[in-house]
Amino acid sequence: MNSSEQDPQTQERLIGDLRLVIENAEELLKNTDQYTSALYQNARAKLAMALGAATEELARFEDAKLGRIIEAANAGDGAASLSGEERILRAFQ
């Protein structure tokens, strides 16, 4: 078991923090597009690249979380008799 699986609350907090950083970075990019100097454009390009990487990482975290939810649903009582859609819906209840 790796450290990311040991503390689900810490993982949830990190995912929430990453979502907030992404939202703030997107807002910053939207609000600075009027600045045309090379310095601003270079900083915006770097932020856009970092934002892309953060968005990909968030998607990876969320996919892993969904996988764990599905595993937990499959391990639950009666899970074998449920369809895939029913298992996913049960996991979010």
- Is the full-model pTM beyond 0.75? no
Contact call for residues 54 and 25 (beta carbons, < 8 A): yes
| Closest-CA residue to 76 (of 93, 91, 92, 62) | 91
Write out pLDDT tens, residues 14-61: 888 999 999 999 999 999 989 989 999 999 999 999 999 999 988 988
> What is the residue type of 46?
K
On the 0-12 / 13-18 / 19+ scale of CB atoms within 10 A, 51 is: middle
Residues 6+ apart with CB under 8 A from 26: 51
Tell me the C-alpha distance between 26 and 51, whole Å: 8
